[in-house]
Every structure is written in C-alpha cells, then in structure tokens.
Amino acid sequence: MVRSSAFLLVFGLLLACGEPATETPATEAPAARGVQAMVADANEVVTTLTAAEAASLVDDPGVAFVDLREQVEIQRSGYVPGAVHAPRGLLEFFVDSTSRMHMPVFSSGKRIVFYCAGGGRSALAAQTAMEMGLDDVAHVGGGFRAWVEAGGPVEQPVQAP
C-alpha cells in the first residue's frame, strides 16, 4: 500500500508540473560559421572601394592606407606607396588607443583604407575597426591583386644587403 501511495504521489506531482523535463544543455554552442559567411556579413556593413577608387586617394593627405598582409607577402609583391603596415593578427591592439601597441594612424582622424591580398582580411578589419569606434574606414574590394590589375602604383620594399 505504501508503494502504491508513493507512486500515486509522484504521478500526481508529474501531472501537476507538466511534462517531465528532458535533458538539454544549459547553453548550446552557436552554429559554426565559416569565413566566407563572416566576410559576406562584413561586406554588408563596411564601405568597399574599387581598386580604381582607392588608387585615386593615394595622394590625399586625409587618407591613410593600411596594409594588413604579412611581411612575406609585402616582400613578394610590394605595397601601396605610403601605406602603414599593420598585420591583421594584431589589429585590435594597434587600433585601441589605450594599448601599448597603439599606432597613431588610427587616432589621426584620417580616413583609413584597409587592404590585404584579396579583400577578405580587409573587410573583416574594416568591420572590426568600426566596432572599435573608428568612423571613417573602408577597404579595397579585391585587395592588392585588384589594385595591381587596375594599375595602382606599387612600391617595392628595400632589400637588405
């Protein structure tokens, strides 16, 4: 009799509380997103300049070009004349004015035009810079490859003897 009373009590509680809870993780991991989706999202919110549009800004004192490529890429193919080198992997530290690694170009008030080899890193960099408070940023669609194809000026790095 005790067992059946306990069973009825438990059954009654289950009915009163609704369906028994199923085990679900407290927090579910977000669905994985690939880099192509991230670049596409960035391109929806950042200003993209064609290589020809960007090339017309080379001599503008109110514009700073930022090369996000690795040193080996610059050594191999050159760079936009006057560009500042800020490898993508450290960008957040370079942009943040409170960081010991801050680069003055990012607090200069100039329009920042990012570029990389093909346009992916620069789209992400422009989005990141906007999220960090920079207002006037853009990137070169198609990157340095498009720049070269459009006949943009290219400076070659000085080789050490």
pLDDT for the residue 40: 95
pLDDT tens, position by position, 50-85 = 999 999 999 999 999 999 999 999 999 999 999 999
Q: What residue spans define the domains of the chain?
A: 35-149
Q: Is 16 a residue whose pLDDT tops 80?
A: no
Sign of CA dihedral 114, 119, 125, 130: positive
Residue whose pair of structure tokens reads 């080379």 in the numeric block: 58
pLDDT tens, position by position, 88-138 = 999 999 999 999 999 999 999 999 999 999 999 999 999 999 999 999 999
Determine if the pTM surpasses 0.95. no
- Please say whether the structural domain 35-149 has been given the CATH code 3.40.250.10: yes
